[in-house]
Structure 1
Amino acid sequence: MRHASRSLLLLALVPCLALAADPKPEITRPASTPQADGKAHTLRTIPEACARIEGQFTGQAADPYKFTLARTSANCQPRARLVDAAKVKPSTKGGWIFNDVIRVPSASCKSQEAVVRVWRKPADAAPPDLDAQGRSRIYLKDATDKAKAKAPSVPMFAVAMAVEGKGCNK
């Protein structure tokens, strides 16, 4: 009887643990192929922000993985902002959408993996209302007045990068 009550308690806690995990991302992908130490690789490209997330396992216990953000092209004009998730603290209640989870296991340390979580927040831009002639028109004075009153909203991407799992002794 005592074991039965423990198993019931455990079954009651499982849904709570599932809620603490990440929400279901928009993009579903399997874990990447294991990467060797010192080999740089692209984790994700965000064309709207003209950015590429790169990383590499260092092989050092103190700092096992190195993340960098690189610009995709000098001529690229970003249509979205890329921000640090630690600063903006994205959540579904704040209008953020959980976009992607990228997992890259280490080839030399099977219990360790690099994890990138990407959130996106769409802009609240909408086309103007139709006028009496059924056309959507933007008038210069109205547009400048509206722009002065409120800063235009641009899409944003928040990126959180971490190393998860147990480290290996080297």
Structure 2
Amino acid sequence: MSSLATKRSRRFTGWHMMAVLLLFFGTIFTANALMAWNASRSWSGLVVQNTYIASQEFNTKVAEAERLAASGIEGRIETASGQFRYVLVQDGKPLPTADRVLASFKRPVEEHEDFEIELDRKADGVFVAGRSLKKGQWIADLRVLAGGETIYRQAVRFIATGDGK
């Protein structure tokens, strides 16, 4: 009698199959939903208008970036209370040769808050945005000029903590 009860308890029934299918497809659905949610929240917003032209300009841009990096100039951003401050140094000393800094501020995903501005020079190597920034993620594309020639270029992704309007 006990061997008959053992056989019945070990039978694979339709309920078992339904449980296996629900676990299998539930796992796949959960993994896909998690990846889709993560992708939508972490999209960088990097888009080029024409991929062919971008590919043709790639080597030129890499050569320019290497030339500018070899200059020894380094830029550092500071944000507080919605203000943006850009400090330039060369070999650890303030950069006196920089006349102007042109900045393009962009949101990583949206375009309606993007703007371009020339930073105000406060001292040797210190430039400040005359406009406050709203709280959140920004990308600043900064171009440093001396005598009309670009001597340094930097793109920085940062989080503004200020209360800009």
Tell me the TM-score normalised to structure 2 length.
0.28
Larger radius of gyration: 2
Tell me the TM-score normalised to structure 1 length.
0.27
Which has the larger strand fraction? Answer: 2
Which has the larger helix fraction? Answer: 2
